[in-house]
Amino acid sequence: MALRLEPYLYAAPSLLLIAAIMLVPLVTGLSYAFHDLILLDPLSGDFVGLDHFREMLDDDGFWTALRNTVVWTAVSVALQFGFGLILALLLDRPFPGRGLVQALVFLPWAVPGFLSGLTWAWLFNPVIGPLPHWLHGLGLLATPENILSDPHLALWGPIAANVWWGIPFFAITLLAALQSIPKDIYEAAAMDGAGPLLRFRRVTLPLLAPTIAITVMLRTVWVANFAELIVVMTKGGPADATQILSSYIFTLAFQRLDFGYASAVAAVLLVLLLAYAAAVMVLRHAMTERA
């Protein structure tokens, strides 16, 4: 009996530390969702049950943030993955100066999110930045205006910054997965008459599938929770046009100081992301068994 418990005793300090650092704040934060907790109101703190969740049903700001979260996450992750895969395929081939190019490609990942958002906000400023003039020259804008002030276009500014900032994540992980594929598989496929496109479809993509599933799932969760660019570039405006759930939580908690309602919105976001992650894992397991 003692021998069977011994491994768990060795792991107990780590498990207790994880519980203290992760589970205690999580449970505490979720408990706030059921309390009327307003920071500057000394009389708040009463248990309100599901009132915050009922309030969400009639909260236009919540539904706008939810729609924006879907667009923000789907477009950002899709473009990051697409450009990251292209870069990984290019960097997988030897060429002069590849080390320098790899360093330059991975450079955006080392830039803090706050600095990235600030830089892109300057780039979209028509007074000091070139992007509005370039977009006007390409015929995409009628005038060289700041799209961050246009409710119909503002969300695309942070999306552009997010795509630039997140491409290296996919490039790094997919390049590592590509370099782990044995080259003799490609040689055998080439000897069987498979061209580059067929080798990519029948060899590269199937062998990359596990890495793709995990990286897309992780990046989706990160992007959905990534409010830094939104807060720095637009603060959720104009007129909540760029508000996503994570930035809406920030606005509720640290500007309106309504920690109870902010925690309720955070609980909804947590449930949505857990459901998404579970669906991805089930789908991946089903595809693995089919293969």
pLDDT for the residue 47: 87
Taking the C-alpha atoms of residue 285 and residue 279, their distance in angstroms, rounded to an integer, is: 10
237 within a domain of the structure (yes/no): yes
37 within a domain of the structure (yes/no): yes
- pLDDT per residue as tens digits for the range 141-171: 888 889 999 899 999 999 999 999 999 999 9
3 within a domain of the structure (yes/no): no
7 within a domain of the structure (yes/no): no
Q: 38: which 2 tokens?
A: 């307003």
Q: 20: which 2 tokens?
A: 């203290």
160 within a domain of the structure (yes/no): yes
DSSP 201-214: IIIIHHHHHHHHHH
pLDDT for the residue 290: 66
Q: 178: which 2 tokens?
A: 């590509």
Asked whether the beta carbons of 59 and 245 are under 8 A apart, the reply is: no
pLDDT band at 224 (very low <50, low <70, confident <90, very high): very high
Taking the C-alpha atoms of residue 256 and residue 249, their distance in angstroms, rounded to an integer, is: 10
Amino acid at 137: G
129 within a domain of the structure (yes/no): yes
- Provide the domain limits for residue 205: 14-290
Q: What percent of the chain has pLDDT over 90?
A: 42
pLDDT for the residue 85: 92
209: domain CATH number is: 1.10.3720.10
pLDDT for the residue 289: 67
Taking the C-alpha atoms of residue 173 and residue 43, their distance in angstroms, rounded to an integer, is: 51
Higher-confidence residue of 79 and 185: namely 79
Collect all residues with Cβ–Cβ distance below 8 Å to 237 and sequence separation of at least 6: 154, 243
Can you point out the beta strands (E) in the chain?
A: 35-36, 46-47
242 within a domain of the structure (yes/no): yes
Lowest mean pLDDT among 121-125, 167-171, 278-282: 278-282
241 within a domain of the structure (yes/no): yes
CA distances from 141 to 8, 49, 74, 132 (A): 62, 49, 24, 8
Nearest to residue 244, comparing CAs of 264, 226, 268, 260?
226
Q: How many domains does the chain have?
A: 1
